[in-house]
Amino acid sequence: MIHILLRVFQYAKALFTRKKRSHEPPQTRHVSRQKKGKPDKKQKGPMTFQELGLSSEGLAAVERMGYGEMTPIQEATYPIITAGRDLCALAETGSGKTAACAIPLVQAIDTSENAIQALIIVPTRELAIQYVEEIDKIGSDMGVVAFAAFGGFSKDIQIAKIKHKVHVLVATPGRLIDLLYDGVVRLSQVRCVVLDEADQLLMEGFLEDIDLIMSCILHEHQTLLFAATMDDEVTGLTKKYLRDPVHVTLLTERAVPVSIEHYFSYIHPKQKEAELISYLTREKVNQTIIFCNARHKVDRLFRDMKKTFRDIEYIHAGLSQNKRSSLFRQFKSKKIQYLIATDVAGRGLDFTHVSHVINWDLPFDTSQYTHRTGRSGRMGRKGTALTFVSKSDLPKIRELFRKKEFTPHWIGRNPLEVTGRPHDKQTPKKTGGSRRYRGKRRSKPPGKSSTQPSP
Ligand code: ADP
Ligand code: MG
């Protein structure tokens, strides 16, 4: 009871401090995308964490993490979450959705109660680990215990930990169901359920699991959905799990992060490797992830690239969990510069230093393109994406350009250009981004490049 009163007080305080801001959250909020450093004149600057009425430990934690101002998604969702409303929040990759959820959630935990009070479901093991790390940073001084449960790791250890004390359980669907069957996880005290990367969790492959998990939480609870992409079909599915939700969308349907430049290279598959080596050598690469569509392609590319680059590793679901976790840790702390990966690294993971994302293979669909390229350009930093395109990819490329609002820059020939003009005279739709390439390629005009495809 005291806990609820405290929450109401904190929310009222936050609203009071922000007097002229919105009072009750409206049903749907569409917040326009603002460029960093160019705030809308009519609006106040971003809200700071001091204004929220966080506990002193919470405030000290966000300060330690270097978070001064709230990101737009954090500012938009905080009052909704603390008011106990269900929420479907959409915002671009790298916009701070984890903390948007974790900060109010941690504040709501009653540490005197030894029970799982919040359940966060994520699609991959690495995301579970990352989520727990973020919650630990925010909540460990308050005594909040978060724990990640995922497959590929000793169930006995996880059971022992859960039985001892866990307030926030972050889990992948498969292992969570196992633990539910074993009677280890009790969800009767869960007040808040979060689906992160909700669109993926509500897609075939996970949907049945999510259905089963949600059917185990019969009592009244709050449900929060976070995603960077969501099509209409999935939005329809969310209705089943949300009660009178508020929809916050900081995305237009076609948006991609403005901080990323999108390059494409039309190339014969046999020439990709030479082009990749040449690209990585001439570009100023901080860290890069090279995405392939299949494990065997990752293996093969790694074998070949290892001959040229020493500081290179690979990752896919065929590796042991220990190896995967260790590689991700090393990559995150910049001990590895080049990582060849399948889509296990494609979603949600926060790699601050990634300057370049390379699609060795064209992603299967538009949202996968958004997630992969969103591993760079996080929190407004500059990022570069390069996608190799072969002849059979052209229909999908057209679809990508139709669905996503960005300026594609072609290195060399643009195969979609049908004017018959000389290749090297092409200008992109908007100016700016390709200048770098024009300069660099002066000695070797794209039209004469050895990497030109023979379509
Ligand atoms: P998303 O889930 O939207 O893809 P993340 O939650 O992974 O994004 O956050 C991306 C990065 O932004 C992380 O490195 C995180 O530490 C940082 N971040 C989050 N909130 C803030 C903030 N208010 N100020 C500064 N950095 C932040
Ligand atoms: Mg995320």
Enumerate the domain spans of the chain. Answer: 51-249, 260-419
Could you give the percent of the chain with pLDDT greater than 70? 81
Mutate to test the pocket of ligand 1, among 47, 65, 134, 256 (most ligand atoms within 8 A of CB): 65
What residues contact residue 233 under an 8 Å CB cut-off, 6+ apart? none
Query: What is the CA(257)–ligand 1 centre distance, in A?
Result: 14
Confidence of residue 419 (pLDDT cuts 50, 70, 90): low
Query: What is the CA(352)–ligand 1 centre distance, in A?
Result: 9
Confidence of residue 454 (pLDDT cuts 50, 70, 90): very low
Instruction: Give the mean pLDDT of the chain.
Output: 84
Is 70 exceeded by the pLDDT of residue 247?
yes
Decide: 84 and 246 in contact? Cβ < 8 Å. Answer: no
Query: What is the CA(349)–ligand 2 centre distance, in A?
Result: 7
Specify the higher pLDDT residue, 450 or 199.
Answer: 199
- Helix, strand, coil share (%) of the chain residues, nearest 5: 40, 15, 45
CATH 3.40.50.300, domain 260-419, yes or no: yes
Specify the higher pLDDT residue, 435 or 40.
Answer: 40
> Which residue has the CA at smallest separation from atom 16 of ligand 1?
96
Confidence of residue 143 (pLDDT cuts 50, 70, 90): very high
Query: What is the CA(100)–ligand 1 centre distance, in A?
Result: 9
Same fold, 51-249 and 260-419: yes
User: Each residue of 17-58: pLDDT tens digit?
Assistant: 333 333 333 345 544 333 333 434 445 678 899 888 899 999
Confidence of residue 253 (pLDDT cuts 50, 70, 90): low
What residues line ligand 1, using a CB cutoff of 6 Å?
A: 67, 70-71, 74, 91, 93-99, 348, 350, 352, 378-379
Decide: 152 and 321 in contact? Cβ < 8 Å. Answer: yes
Tell me the CATH number for domain 51-249: 3.40.50.300
User: Which one of the ligands is nearest to 66 CA?
Assistant: 1
**pLDDT at residue 2 in the model:** 47
Task: Please state the rounded mean pLDDT for residues 169-174.
Answer: 97
Specify the higher pLDDT residue, 448 or 8.
Answer: 8
> Which residue has the CA at smallest separation from atom 20 of ligand 1?
96
Task: Please state the rounded mean pLDDT for residues 399-406.
Answer: 89
**pLDDT at residue 231 in the model:** 87
Query: What is the CA(93)–ligand 2 centre distance, in A?
Result: 7
Task: Spell out the SS3 assignment of 359-418.
Answer: ECCCCCCHHHHHHHHCCCCHHHCCEEEEEEECHHHHHHHHHHHHHCCCCEEEECCCCCCC
Q: How many other CB atoms are there within 10 angstroms of residue 361's CB atom? A: 20
d(CA 249, CA 103) in angstroms, rounded, equals 19
Is 70 exceeded by the pLDDT of residue 189?
yes
**pLDDT at residue 43 in the model:** 52
User: Which one of the ligands is nearest to 381 CA?
Assistant: 1
